[in-house]
């Protein structure tokens, strides 16, 4: 199989997913940033109008499609190289593949500037200062420098590597536990269920990291606050309540269930048809 297919299929699968689930993600982002309930976040978006619903779509389109290519394509390439080098060395295959997944997650963090711009465009407090994707990039680079594009890097790194290890490590064994498919639709449903269940579980597990990331990236200019300091600020602002820290997690669960179901099933389907 042409190894380039994994890059193409991963990219297209993530692109389709982000178009479908972007409005849900936007409601969840408001909950992460302001700690409001889903109904209030939805009302905020309704007041802002339909024309602003997909404001900030371009950065995640670029980021997610590129991230999908890296996640699936680079994981396959790195795994193949490492497995060849580890052949006969006694290193367990699981350890080799886990290391490949962690490296891939770290590589995905290079695309973080797109997440940064998406955060600013989705935050209504910055609507006057940032007009669109290109204006936001230009403003960040000219006024604050490249480093401003990587504000909130630590929670992204803490999220990407471990989540990739768990996703690729559990995807195969989980699919083996599902009933054997007897048709193409059956295979698609199994892939959807496997990807969705994993994505939803990992979304809950790493949700506080995304809350910290959103809080850190909502700031423009000034000193870079340490990860622990931002976490403690959020913890205090939410009344030291675990429930409020996870506000929006239920919506994230359902979005991740749909998102990773679409991504995994579409990726596997595209591998067969391209």
Domain assignment present for residue 56? The answer is yes
**Tens-place pLDDT, residues 30-71:** 887 777 788 888 888 888 887 778 887 888 888 889 999 999
How far apart CA 264 and CA 132 sit, in angstroms, is 31
DSSP notation for 123-172: -GGGTTT--SHHHHHHHIIIII-GGGGGTTHHHHHHHHHHHHHHHHHHHH
Domain assignment present for residue 240? The answer is no
Domain assignment present for residue 74? The answer is yes
Give me the chain's average pLDDT, please: 90
Q: How confident is the model at residue 129 (pLDDT cuts 50, 70, 90)?
A: confident
Q: Are 165 and 102 in contact (CB under 8 A)?
A: yes
- Measuring CA to CA, which residue among 11, 240, 6, 45 is closest to residue 123? 45
Q: Is the pLDDT of residue 87 over 90?
A: no
Q: Are 155 and 213 in contact (CB under 8 A)?
A: yes
Domain assignment present for residue 222? The answer is no
- Measuring CA to CA, which residue among 74, 72, 73, 63 is closest to residue 15? 63
Record the pTM.
0.84
Percent of the chain with pLDDT over 70: 99
Tell me the torsion sign for CA atoms 85, 87, 90, 93.
Answer: positive
| Exposure string for 9-22, b = 16+ CB within 10 A, e = fewer | bbbbbbbbbbeebb
Please state the domain count of the chain. 1
Domain assignment present for residue 86? The answer is yes
Q: Is the pLDDT of residue 1 over 60?
A: no
């Amino acid at each position: 199989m042409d190894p380039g297919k994994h890059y193409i299929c991963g990219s297209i699968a993530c692109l389709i997913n982000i178009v479908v689930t972007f409005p849900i993600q936007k409601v969840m982002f408001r909950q992460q940033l302001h700690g409001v309930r889903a109904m209030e976040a939805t009302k905020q978006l309704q007041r802002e109008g339909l024309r602003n619903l997909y404001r900030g779509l371009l950065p995640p389109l670029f980021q997610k499609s590129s991230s999908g290519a890296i996640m699936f394509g680079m994981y396959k390439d790195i795994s193949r190289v490492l497995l060849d080098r580890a052949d006969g060395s006694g290193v367990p295959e699981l350890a080799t593949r886990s290391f490949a997944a962690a490296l891939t997650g770290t590589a995905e963090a290079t695309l973080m500037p797109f997440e940064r711009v998406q955060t600013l465009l989705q935050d209504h407090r910055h609507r006057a200062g940032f007009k669109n994707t290109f204006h936001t990039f230009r403003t960040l680079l000219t006024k604050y420098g490249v480093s401003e594009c990587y504000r909130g890097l630590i929670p992204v790194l803490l999220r990407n590597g471990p989540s990739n290890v768990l996703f690729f490590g559990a995807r195969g064994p989980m699919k083996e536990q599902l009933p054997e498919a007897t048709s193409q639709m059956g295979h698609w449903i199994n892939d959807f269920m496997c990807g969705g269940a994993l994505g939803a579980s990992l979304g809950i597990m790493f949700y506080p990291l995304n809350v910290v990331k959103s809080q850190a990236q909502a700031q423009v200019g000034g000193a870079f606050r340490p990860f622990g300091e931002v976490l403690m600020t959020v913890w205090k602002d939410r009344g030291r309540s675990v429930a409020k820290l996870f506000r929006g997690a239920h919506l994230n669960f359902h979005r991740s269930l749909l998102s990773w179901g679409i991504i995994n099933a579409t990726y596997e389907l595209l591998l067969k048809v391209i």
